[in-house]
Amino acid sequence: MKYFIKTFGCQQNHSDSERIESTLKSRGMTKARSIKTADYVVINTCMIRESAENRVYGLVNNLGKLKTKNLKLKVIVTGCMVGLAFRDKTGKFLKKIREAMPSADEFLPIEEIGFDNAPVRQTKENAWVPISNGCNNFCTFCVVPFTRGREISRPYQDIIKECSDLKKKGYKNITLLGQNVNSYGADLILGEKNVQVMRDLSKTYFKKQTGVESGGIPTARRLGGLVAGRAPAGGNSKQDPLAKIKPVYVKHLGRYRIPTLFPHLLEEVAKLGFEKVDFISSNPWDFSDELIDVIAKNKNITRLIHLPVQAGDDRVLKRMNRWYTANDYTNLVLKLRSKIPGIKFSTDIIVGFCGETDEEFANTVKLCKAVGFEKAYLAMYSKRPMTAATRNLKDDVPHTTKEKRWLILEKLINHPYLRKK
């Protein structure tokens, strides 16, 4: 059997495809030169925009035509569309994709792939290393918490082992991947069902969960030993390096939000000696001072930070359920610039979000000018199934206005030379 994998979407999907490829190889399959010569086609789907979803329907239906020539051909659909279908308890989305893709032989949840096989890396220099999957933030426009589910962090030591092995094999650049990398470890500390909302952990969490007053911040080991994926506390702390790890308590808007292990993880990976250590994506509300210090201290950590802002107007940010104001964002940028000389930023922005007025969009332009992004991944808002925006808000900005706003930011950020003409 010859396989071909077609991947849509973000680096996380591409990283998942590397592990899918490894599973196919372990079953004795070989890689086809093109989709047309394959007997086993895996489509790793993306749902972040309506356009990405429509491209999948188009491709699978074209494969249906190939099936008339190659009777052995199997089409497997996986990734975000299948994730959503299996999480939608009404069954409506599964019905929809079954009807839209009658040529698909199987809908495979990505969770079934797991981490047992080493991924088939696409290059010998750069490697993606997933550190968490899913998201608990529920931005109102975003389908990710429904496609990938709640945030689950990989055990700390598994990540360090994977990175150490990559270093020994001669890889130069590492990118740590997750939907919100800087909340890495919150579930290892608080439990998988934690709700990462703004709450004052100092008042309630410490005593209830650990019997320790907030003054004595517990170590990861004392919080149940889950970080290492090993037995709970009680071992000899001299022999156990993780016993010394103290989670970083992220303070945002004057309150403790979540504990995270990301600053420790990033520093430990940086110290392995790669030429460059990147991480994507991080969110502004989990960008702790400790994380800034780690980046400042370790020169091999990226100086181009991807920091999604999504909008530069406080009312739009509130409708998006993003936990910061435009001022909070620009203050964070200023803080990073003051501590890390030469640091640059890229971002994600959605234009034409529900109810976005000319004045609100003008505030986004203002923020972009103030920050001076190196690059922006711009999207015109489109409704996504199950999200709060689809359920509760009106997609009322005309498409022509969305296009106009998209072009303004595209010229401003991604093609500054066009502005000068």
* List of residues contacting ligand SF4 (CB under 6 A): 135, 137-139, 142, 144-145, 179-180, 283
In terms of CB distance, is 119 or 145 closer to ligand SF4?
A: 145
In terms of CB distance, is 222 or 306 closer to ligand SF4?
A: 306
Query: Which residues, including other chains, have CB under 8 Å from residue 12's CB and lie 6 or more apart?
Result: 130, 133, 177, 178, 179
> Minimum distance between the CB of residue 284 and ligand SF4, rounded to whole angstroms?
10
Q: At what angle do helices 358-371 and 326-339 cross, to 10 degrees?
A: 0
Note every long-range contact of 62-71, with CB atoms under 8 Å and residues 24 or more positions apart, other chains counting. 63/35, 63/103, 64/102, 64/103, 66/36, 67/103, 70/39
Q: Are 313 and 365 in contact (CB under 8 A)?
A: no
The label of the residue with tokens 């501590």 reads 339
Measure the CA–CA gap between 307 and 282, rounded to whole angstroms: 6
> Minimum distance between the CB of residue 139 and ligand SF4, rounded to whole angstroms?
3
> Minimum distance between the CB of residue 144 and ligand SF4, rounded to whole angstroms?
4
> Minimum distance between the CB of residue 167 and ligand SF4, rounded to whole angstroms?
29
> Minimum distance between the CB of residue 276 and ligand SF4, rounded to whole angstroms?
24
> Minimum distance between the CB of residue 269 and ligand SF4, rounded to whole angstroms?
22
Nearest to 20, CA basis, from 155, 127, 132, 111 = 111
In terms of CB distance, is 2 or 87 closer to ligand SF4?
A: 87
Between the alpha carbon of residue 410 and those of residues 33, 330, 375, 414, 416, the distances in Å are 35, 20, 9, 5, 8
> Minimum distance between the CB of residue 286 and ligand SF4, rounded to whole angstroms?
9
Query: Which residues, including other chains, have CB under 8 Å from residue 73's CB and lie 6 or more apart?
Result: 38, 39, 40, 41, 63, 66, 67
Nearest to 50, CA basis, from 381, 399, 406, 419 = 381
In terms of CB distance, is 63 or 142 closer to ligand SF4?
A: 142
In terms of CB distance, is 38 or 181 closer to ligand SF4?
A: 181
In terms of CB distance, is 38 or 142 closer to ligand SF4?
A: 142
In terms of CB distance, is 127 or 144 closer to ligand SF4?
A: 144
Measure the CA–CA gap between 82 and 9, rounded to whole angstroms: 14
The label of the residue with tokens 């220099």 reads 125
In terms of CB distance, is 219 or 325 closer to ligand SF4?
A: 325
Provide the strand spans (E) within 216-271.
248-252, 255-260
Measure the CA–CA gap between 288 and 266, rounded to whole angstroms: 13
In terms of CB distance, is 80 or 295 closer to ligand SF4?
A: 80
> Minimum distance between the CB of residue 381 and ligand SF4, rounded to whole angstroms?
12
In terms of CB distance, is 135 or 243 closer to ligand SF4?
A: 135
> Minimum distance between the CB of residue 253 and ligand SF4, rounded to whole angstroms?
16
Q: Are 180 and 148 in contact (CB under 8 A)?
A: no
> Minimum distance between the CB of residue 135 and ligand SF4, rounded to whole angstroms?
3
- Compute the residue count for the chain: 421
Helix (H) or strand (E) holding 379: strand 375-380
Instruction: Give one word for 191, left, alpha or beta, with left for phi > 0 and alpha for psi -120 to 50.
Output: left
> Minimum distance between the CB of residue 13 and ligand SF4, rounded to whole angstroms?
13
Measure the CA–CA gap between 222 and 233, rounded to whole angstroms: 6
In terms of CB distance, is 43 or 139 closer to ligand SF4?
A: 139
